[in-house]
Amino acid sequence: MVSVGIFNITKRFGDVIALDNVSLDIGDGELFTLLGPSGCGKTTLLRIIAGLEFPDSGKIVFGDRDVTYLKASRRNTAMVFQNYALWPHMTVYENVAFGLEIRKYPKDEIRRRVHDILRLVKLEGMEKRFPGQLSGGQQQRVALARALVVEPDVLLLDEPLSNLDAKLRVEMREEVRRIQRETGITTIYVTHDQEEALTISDRIAVMNKGRVQQVGTPIEIYRSPKNEFVATFIGKSTILRGVLKKIVDGYGVVDIGGFEVLGRLESRFRVGDKVTVIFRPEDCRVGEIDGYNKLEGIIESIMFIGSYFHIRLNVNGKDILILADVDGDFKEGMPLKFSIDPDEVMIISSKD
């Protein structure tokens, strides 16, 4: 197991810049997630780490070994492909044993290890089946077992759960987390599903258009999105644009047009700067509570999201999303008073 250093990786395909100067530092034994919309370069980065693709510039380092131009077969990474890439002409046993045979383990050692790993992924008794005879979830486990059994330095998972149905997906992501904990293998996990990323990861890198937008723990990413992209891609947020009117002790008052919002300044600003205000629905509270950011709007729509309502309000012509308990009595068209905790309101530059 090793740490993985990614230094200034750039990769073009013709005119498309798949990766634009990407740098990341992934710790030994960490479960690190690359999160971003489809086409943002996640798979490309994973393939570069695996040696299936080579960067135009930049460096990949495992521990203190520069592996940038090392052939895939020499890297001792193990990748779980999005389509699993199980070999259809081999049984489950043969699929899993393949990497060990390449590494020239003795026969009984192979048998023992395959057996152990199949137990770990809960597939005992399936050795003789062919991939075509397995369900999607089982195939996914075989792919995982095949990758884990060689005790790779780095485990690479490319949207491993995206082909499973919703219920299985939740189950399997807990499995992946458990197995990663048990084995302690440095793992890079790719997903476009923010919920998956938030629940499973030690740290997350949010990517967009080939660039890393923000790196942090799930809580950091969720609580303090660095820019509008991260704020909208992860969780639901209200985004308002305005002009900074006043600055007090790291807080600022922003004129949205018709009303004002008080929030935390995320960087240095001057009065008069154009800024963007971001806050989450759960940081708004219904009712006339003493304090700052007391607002009132007309209910435009109400959405039940399981134990809560998402309520969309029209406040002076601006859309604001808030969270409300289901026991409240809400109707469309009704006026509603609410307030926003200023500590949870982020004020960022409008340029990002």
Partner 1 sequence: MKVDRSLLDELGERISRARLYLDPVTIFFLSFPTFTFILFLITPLIGMLGIAFVYKGAPSLEWFIRIFTSEYYINLQGRGEPWYYDEKFNMLVITGSDYGVILNSLIVASIVTIVTTIWGIILAILFSRYSFRGKDFLRILSMVPLLLSPFVNALVIKKMFNPYNGFINWLLHDTLGILPFRLYIDGLAGIALTQIITYYPIVALNILSSMLNIDSTLEEQGVNMGAEGFTLLRKITIPLSYPGIMSGATLVFIFSLEDLTAPIVFHGHPLAKKLISFQIYTKFISETGLRSPEIAALAVFLLFIALTFFILIRNYVSLRSYASIPRGRMLRKLNRLGVKGYLVVYTVIFPILLFTSFPQIGVVLLAFSTRWVNTVFPEGYTLANVIEVFSNPDVFKYLRNSVMYASLALLFIFILALSAAYVTNRLRFRGVSSIDLLSTSPIALPGIVIAISYFYFYATLFRDTILDPTNVLFFNPLPVLIIGYSIRRLPFALRAIYAGIQQVHVNLEEASLNMGAGRFHTIKKILLPLVSPNVLSGLLISFIYVVGEVSISIIIGILNMDYAPLTVYMRDVMLSAVGSQYIAAALGFILMSMQLTVIIIITLVFKQRYAYIGI
52 binds partner 1 (CB under 8 A): yes
Does residue 277 contact residue 256 with C-beta atoms inside 8 Å? yes
Which token pair is 179? 């197995």
Between 205 and 244, name the residue whose CB sits nearer to Mg ion: 205
Task: Please identify, among the stretches 36-44, 123-131, 137-145, 242-250, the one whose residues bind ligand ADP according to the rule CB under 6 A.
Answer: 36-44
Min. distance of Cβ 146 from Mg ion in angstroms?
19
326 binds partner 1 (CB under 8 A): no
**Which strand (E) or helix (H) includes residue 142?**
helix 136-148
| Dist. CA 349–CA 276, nearest whole Å | 6
Min. distance of Cβ 47 from ligand ADP in angstroms?
7
| Dist. CA 226–CA 291, nearest whole Å | 26
Beta-carbon contacts of 205 under 8 Å, excluding residues fewer than 6 positions away, are 24, 32, 33, 34, 35, 212, 214, 215
Per DSSP, the three-state class of 92 is: helix
179 binds partner 1 (CB under 8 A): no
Beta-carbon contacts of 63 under 8 Å, excluding residues fewer than 6 positions away, are 2, 3, 153
245 binds partner 1 (CB under 8 A): no
State how far the alpha carbon of 268 is from the alpha carbons of 253, 274, 346, in Å: 14, 12, 13
57 binds partner 1 (CB under 8 A): no
Binding-site size for partner 1 (CB under 8 A) equals 28
Quick one: which of 16, 65, 87, 332 contacts partner 1 (CB under 8 A)?
Answer: 87
305 binds partner 1 (CB under 8 A): no
43 binds Mg ion (CB under 5 A): yes
Q: What is the CA radius of gyration of the chain?
A: 24
Between 43 and 293, name the residue whose CB sits nearer to Mg ion: 43
Q: Residue 94: what are its φ and ψ, rounded to 5°?
A: -65, -40
69 binds ligand ADP (CB under 6 A): no
77 binds partner 1 (CB under 8 A): yes
User: Using CB distances below 5 to 8 A depending on partner kind, what does residue 205 bind out of ligand ADP, partner 1, Mg ion, none?
Assistant: none
55 binds ligand ADP (CB under 6 A): no
Quick one: which of 2, 4, 26, 43 contacts ligand ADP (CB under 6 A)?
Answer: 43
Interaction residues for partner 1, span 127-156 (CB under 8 A): 146, 150
51 binds ligand ADP (CB under 6 A): no
16 binds ligand ADP (CB under 6 A): yes
Does residue 300 contact residue 314 with C-beta atoms inside 8 Å? yes
What is the DSSP-derived secondary structure letter of residue 72? G
Q: How far apart are the first and last CA of the chain?
A: 37
Residue 331 CB neighbour total at 10 angstroms: 8
Min. distance of Cβ 6 from partner 1 in angstroms?
18
Residues at the site binding partner 1, with contacts judged by CB under 8 A:
50-52, 54, 56, 69, 71-79, 81, 83, 85-89, 98-99, 102-103, 146, 150
